[in-house]
Amino acid sequence: MALATAMEGWRMSDAVRVLVVDDHAMVRAGLRKLLDEAGDLEFVGEASDGVEAVAQFSRLQPDVVLMDLVMPGMDGAQATACICEQSPGARVVAMTSFDEDDLVGGALDAGAVCCLIKDARPEVIYETVREASRENGSLDVAAMRAAARLRDDEVGHDLSPRERQVLRCLATGWSNEEIAAELAISVGTVRGHVGKILKKLRAPNRTAAVVLALEHRLVKTPHPGQPHAREV
């Protein structure tokens, strides 16, 4: 019993501490439940608007902030800017819905390290938070922000129709196996397409590729769980 208690204490002390910001109580509750189930991620607090988010960040000093972009009063981008001005090393992950992709660039410019689709699968949320928490992680924030400022016709112009299909599935949070099943191709072929997508977009990882795709409207983002990838 004592050993179990000690192990639990070690696990929580080593966990990534997360502040959740969203103006919808159900969203906050859902994210809290997901974080509690991850094991290595710890929900430490919540906020329902930008002003409260800035105050909670100052009080709690979380490792990562999951920040909704659309909120009444001070929105997510403004709150992110305030937090990053207060603490330049802050790790803010901007949360956006499928019809809010035009806000991604503003969030990155405000200081967010990456963007996360609210309806992403749990494993995508977990990995995004973990990656964002790593000071020297693979998220190339400077490159993402620079790419976000390019003209739309300069980004992804050389993607093939099939690569755009795969990119669309990536934006939905699908695994390589699910993409392979949807497109009736092998998992190895999917991996090859993903590699080419990352190279052409100069993106360090799948998350960065999705951020750029949303910002530059390289794909028409489908509803969650319905990529309709066969439509070109």
Q: What integer pLDDT is reported at residue 153 of this predicted model?
A: 53
Q: Is it the case that residue 137 has pLDDT exceeding 50? A: no
Q: Is it the case that residue 12 has pLDDT exceeding 80? A: no
Question: What order do you get walking across the sheet with 92-96 strand by strand?
Answer: 41-47, 16-21, 64-68, 92-96, 114-117
- Name the average pLDDT for the chain: 80
Domain co-membership, 161 together with 126: no
Q: What integer pLDDT is reported at residue 22 of this predicted model?
A: 95
Domain co-membership, 78 together with 16: yes
Domain co-membership, 100 together with 162: no
Within a domain: 231: no
Domain co-membership, 94 together with 176: no
Question: 186-211: per-residue pLDDT in tens?
Answer: 999 999 999 999 888 877 778 778 87
Where in the sequence is the domain holding 77, given as residue range(s)?
2-137
Q: What integer pLDDT is reported at residue 138 of this predicted model?
A: 44
Within a domain: 68: yes
Span 77-81, average pLDDT = 94
| Proportion of the chain above pLDDT 90, given as a percent | 42
Q: Which of 36-45, 165-174, 200-209 has the highest mean pLDDT?
A: 36-45
How many structural domains comprise the chain? 2
